[in-house]
Amino acid sequence: MLFECANGLTRPVRLSENTRRFAYDSLHYRYGLDTRKTQAVSLDHLTNYETMTLLARYNAAIAEIAAGAPIRICEGERLSGAATLGLAIHHCVPATYKGEPFCGGISHLTVHFETVLHIGLNGIRRNAEAALQKYKNTDREPFIRSCLHCLDCFALWHSRYLDALKDRPEYSGNYKCLQTVPMEPPESFYEAVQSLWITFAFLRLCGNWPGIGRIDWLLGDYLERDLHAGTITLDEAREILAHFFIKGCEWVSGGDYGSGDAQHYQNILLAGIDKNGNEVTNTVTYLVLDILEELGIGDFPTTVRLNRHTDARLLRRVAEVMRYGGGILAVYNEDLIIEALTDYGYPLHEARQFANDGCWEVQIPGKTFFTYMPFDSLAVLQQKTLQRYENVLDYPSFDTLYQQFILDLQNCLEEIFLQMQDTFESGVYSDGQWVWRPQIPCTVVSLFEEGCIEKSLSYLEGGPIYNITSPHIGGLADTANSLFAIKKTVYDEKKLTLNELLTVLKNNWEGAESLRQYVLNRYSYFGNDSDEVDALTAHILEDFTGMCRKLDHRCGYRFPAGVSTFGRQLEWAPHRLASPHGKKQGDILAANCSPTPGTDQEGATAIIRSYCKLPLKQTVTGAALDLKLLPSCVRGEDGIKALIALMRGFTALGGYFMQPDIVNAEVLKEAQKHPENYKTLSVRVSGWNARFITLNEAWQNMIIEQNEQ
C-alpha cells in the first residue's frame, strides 16, 4: 500500500501513476532530505554587516536567498518553485552570519493570496510605488523601499525558474504558466494554481509559515470557466491540484522532531459562504477531498466550514474522507463563528470571509496580525488559589474559593496584557495611533497583508488592518473538574475539610487510594453531558471571556479570548501538582477544550453536548474540541451516517471547531515498534497533523493514550 491509513481502509485510485509516484517520493523524504543539504545562504561576505541596520541586513538576506537558493525541478512536477533552504524548515530566515541565523520567520497568519491572483506582483509593485511617493522623506520610507526590494528579489528568483525550465520541453506547461504568473493575474486554472503555489513557496523559502486559507474560493471560478470552455478536463484539473499538495510535502524528511515534522501552519479551508452570503462549495472543493482521500497527505490540515444549510452531498463526502483517519479533516460551525465575529465588531462581509491563522484560530485573512498567549488555568488554581497545598486556607464556602480563583485568574490575565503592552512605546502619535516598538523585519510577509503597504508599516509594527493578541485559557476541563471535585467532596458531601484534602493532594494521593478512586468514579465530569459540572465549566469560561472584553481596545491591539493547549499539556505536566479530581502529579491532562482523559464515559455525543453548553460565541478566536473515534464506529454505510449525524449535531448545538481523528491505538503501537513500515502514517496532534513516527516518544505516548480512552 503506497499511502498508509490509520484504520486499514484501502484508498481509492484516481490520479495517474506518475502523480502517485511523485507523491510517494515526496512523502518518503526524497525532497526533504535534499532540502536539508543546503541549510542557508551566508552573509559573511558583507564587510559592513555589523554596522548595517536590521532592515538593511534583512534586505541583504532576501537578496542572497533569491540569488543563491538551489533551484529544484522535481521529476514530473506540474508546478514549479521550491523552498530549498533547510533552515526555513526551522522557521528562520535561511541566511546566516558567522554561522548564526539572521532572524526568525512569521507564522500564525493567512496572507492575502487573493491580491496576487487579482492584480499580480506587478499590481503590488504599483501600490508600493504609490506609497513611496506618499512616504518619501519620512521615517516610513525605508520600509516601503524594502517592499520594492523584496519584489525585485521575488522577480529574480522567479526568473531563475524560467531559465531552468525554458529548454526542457517536458515542463512546457510550467514554463508557459510562469511566463505570466505571478507577475500578472492568471487567466486559467492552471495559471492560478501555479501563481498560488510559487507565491506560497517564496514565502516559505524566506522562512515564513503562512496558511493557505480558502483554496476553493480562490480557485473555483478559474476552474468553472475552463471546464465550461472545454480547455481542461476534470481529471486534468485534479492532477494539477494534486501537485500543489505534493509539492507542499517538500520538507518531509523523517526523523524525530518532537511535535512532528508537518507543523508548518499551512492549513486550508473549504466550503462555507462568501462575503455576500453565497455558498462557496464548488468543483475545487470536491477535488481537494478526492486528493486528500487518495494520498492521505496530512501536511495541509483541512477544515470544512459547515452551516445549517450545508448540502447533504458535501457532508457525505466529508464523512467519507474523514473516516480514513489521520486527522486531516476538521470542521468549523460558521453560523456561530460569523455571529461571534460580528458581535465582536467585525463588519458582516469580513466576518463571512473568516479563515484560520495557519492553525485553527480564526482571523480575517490577509488583514490580521495575530498572536496568541496561552496559559495554564490549572496552574493558577493549584499554585495561586490553593497556594501549592502548602498553607492552611480559609474558604468558608465554595463561592469564596471560586471568587478567589477568579481574582487570581484576572491577575494572570492582566500580567499577559501588560506583557503585550510592552510591544508599544509609551503614549500615542498625535493622530491617535499607538507607536509600535521596532520589531524584526518581515517585509516579504508584509507584501501580502492588506494595510502594510498602504501605511508603510510592517506586519509586526501595526501595518495590518487588524492587530490581535488573543489570550488562550488552557486546562479548562481540568480546572473545572478540580473545582467540581472540591465542591462535592468538601462543601456538599463534607467527606473531609479543604485543608485535609490539600494534605492528601500534597502527598500525591499516597495512602488515600480509596478516596482517589471515589472522586475518579463517583462524579460525572466535563464531557459527559452532566449539567452541573458543565455549568461550572461554562461559568469559568464566561468569567474569563468577560475579563478579556474589559481589557480589549485599551492599547494598539485587540484582546479576544480563546481556548487551547496545542499540546502544552505535555510540557505543563511536570509542573502540575496532584489534582482534586483524582489525577496524580505529572499526569497528562486535557487537550484544548476537550475533556480530561479518562473522565469521558458517555461517548462522542455526550462530549459534543458538554462542549456546546459553553459560551463558545464569546471565544472569538476559537475553542477546539478534539474528538477521538474508533475505526469500528465509522465502518461501512452506518459509520458514514454516524459521522454525518455528529457533524449535524455539532452545528445544530452551536459548536465552534471540532477536529476528529479516527485511529486504532494498536496500529500506533505497531508503528512505534516498526517505524520503517509506517513512514506516512498521519495523526492529528492539535491544530496540526504529524507523521506519527516523527513525533518523539513522549508525544507518541500521549497520542496513544488519548486513543485508548
C-alpha cell at 73: 525541478
Tell me, what's the pLDDT at 327? Answer: 81
Residue 362: pLDDT over 50: yes
Tell me, what's the pLDDT at 1? Answer: 43
Question: For 375-405, how does the pLDDT look when each residue is reduced to its tens digit (9 = 90+)?
Answer: 999 999 999 999 999 999 999 999 999 999 9
Q: Which of 28, 8, 4, 24 minimizes the C-alpha distance to 16?
A: 24
Residue 671: pLDDT over 90: no
CB 563 within 8 A of CB 623: yes
Highest mean pLDDT among 6-15, 154-163, 252-261, 595-604: 154-163
DSSP 70: P
Residue 513: pLDDT over 50: yes
Residue with cell 477544515: 303
Residue 432: pLDDT over 80: no
Tell me, what's the pLDDT at 256? Answer: 59
pLDDT class for 6, splitting at 50, 70, 90? low
C-alpha cell at 700: 507518541
215: helix, strand or coil: helix
* C-alpha distances out from residue 76 to 71, 170, 295, 664, 685, Å: 15, 8, 17, 35, 32
Q: Which of 259, 265, 298, 244 minimizes the C-alpha distance to 106?
A: 265
Q: What residue type is assigned to position 308 of the chain?
A: R
Question: For 530-539, how does the pLDDT look when each residue is reduced to its tens digit (9 = 90+)?
Answer: 999 999 999 9
Residue 243: pLDDT over 70: yes
574: preceding bond cis by omega (within 30 degrees)? no
Side-chain-side CA neighbours of 342 within 13 Å: the count stands at: 14
Phi first, then psi: what are they for 49, rounded to 5°? -55, -45
pLDDT class for 677, splitting at 50, 70, 90? confident
How far apart, in whole angstroms, are the C-alpha atoms of residue 223 and residue 274?
17
pLDDT class for 590, splitting at 50, 70, 90? very high
How far apart, in whole angstroms, are the C-alpha atoms of residue 101 and residue 95?
6
How far apart, in whole angstroms, are the C-alpha atoms of residue 158 and residue 154?
6
Q: Which of 105, 125, 348 minimizes the C-alpha distance to 203?
A: 105
CB 456 within 8 A of CB 357: no
pLDDT class for 691, splitting at 50, 70, 90? confident
Mean pLDDT score across all residues of the chain: 93
Q: Specify the pTM.
A: 0.95
How far apart, in whole angstroms, are the C-alpha atoms of residue 109 and residue 212?
9
Tell me, what's the pLDDT at 3? Answer: 63
Tell me which long-range contacts 425-431 makes (C-beta under 8 A, separation of at least 24). 428/556
C-alpha cell at 503: 494534605
* Least confident among 184-198, 252-266, 345-359, 484-498: 252-266
Q: Is the dihedral of CA 288, 294, 295, 298 positive or negative?
A: positive
| Helical (H) or strand (E) element with 214 | strand 213-214
How far apart, in whole angstroms, are the C-alpha atoms of residue 175 and residue 197?
14
Tell me, what's the pLDDT at 697? Answer: 82
How far apart, in whole angstroms, are the C-alpha atoms of residue 327 and residue 25?
22
Tell me, what's the pLDDT at 5? Answer: 67
| Helical (H) or strand (E) element with 478 | helix 476-486
